[in-house]
Amino acid sequence: MKDIIKNELLSHKEVIDLVIESLSEDILKACEVALNTINSGNKIILMGNGGSAADAQHIAAEFTGRYKIERRGLPAIALTTDTSALTAIGNDYGYEYIFERQVEALAKKGDLLIGISSTGNSDNIIRAFKRGKEIGCNTIGLSGKGGGKFNGVCDLNVIVPSNNTPRVQEIHILIGHTICQIVDSFYQNLAEENE
């Protein structure tokens, strides 16, 4: 058992080291887009399937509630939480439309769509990205395994350098938390300037 635990932790550390070396600039760009979205009066819309759906909800909650500091609630929503919409759209149109239809209904020009997929091949997210681009949204993918089809549809695809799904998912939540930290730091500095 100890060997399994050690190997899991070392595997995580190995991917973290690769992320530090190769993804810092992409994470910075994602942070800037998220901060600019909120400061422009727009919202962040997140989506994912399975564990990535949970990550989308987690990050949306960090914005609407709080991450670390006391600040106003910030506009973010996960498209995975409305079971009536998900099941109605899935039943009437097909599962591949569950996010696209919600983006069509809820997104406006200048909003940010963040799609989370360990492979970058989730058809329902790809459809939502394409619809969002037609509306005038910015699009960021959080992916792994080479980025998949997200490479051709996102403004920015932050590709975790791993083919190991659990490692990719762990880094996705770390990237989400890093974006939240940047936003918190902005609001903390703003509060200090106004004191």
Cα 134 from Cα 22, distance rounded (Å) = 31
57, 81 contact by CB (below 8 A): yes
| pLDDT of 79 higher than 90 | yes
Tell me the C-alpha to C-alpha distance, in Å, between residue 63 and each of 2, 66, 76, 144, 162.
Answer: 37, 6, 6, 24, 27
pLDDT digits (tens, 9 = 90+) for 124-158: 999 999 999 999 999 999 999 999 999 999 999 99
Averaged pLDDT, 1-27: 92
Chain-centroid distance of CA 60 in Å reads 9
Instruction: Identify residue 156 by its one-letter amino acid code.
Output: L
14, 159 contact by CB (below 8 A): no
**Percent of the chain whose pLDDT exceeds 90:** 92
* Residue among 53, 152, 154 nearest 113 (CA): 154
Q: How confident is the model at residue 192 (pLDDT cuts 50, 70, 90)?
A: confident
Q: How confident is the model at residue 62 (pLDDT cuts 50, 70, 90)?
A: very high
115: phi then psi, degrees, rounded to nearest 5: -105, 130
26, 140 contact by CB (below 8 A): no
| pLDDT of 36 higher than 90 | yes
pLDDT digits (tens, 9 = 90+) for 83-115: 999 999 999 999 999 999 999 999 999 999 999
Burial class for 6, CB neighbours closer than 10 Å (0-12, 13-18, 19+): exposed
pLDDT of amino acid 190: 77
98, 87 contact by CB (below 8 A): no
Record the pTM: 0.95
Q: Which CATH number is correct for 2-193, 3.40.50.11720, 3.40.50.150, 3.40.50.10490, 3.40.50.300?
A: 3.40.50.10490
pLDDT of amino acid 129: 98
Beta bridge partners of 112: 44, 138
* Average pLDDT for the chain: 95
Cα 123 from Cα 182, distance rounded (Å) = 30
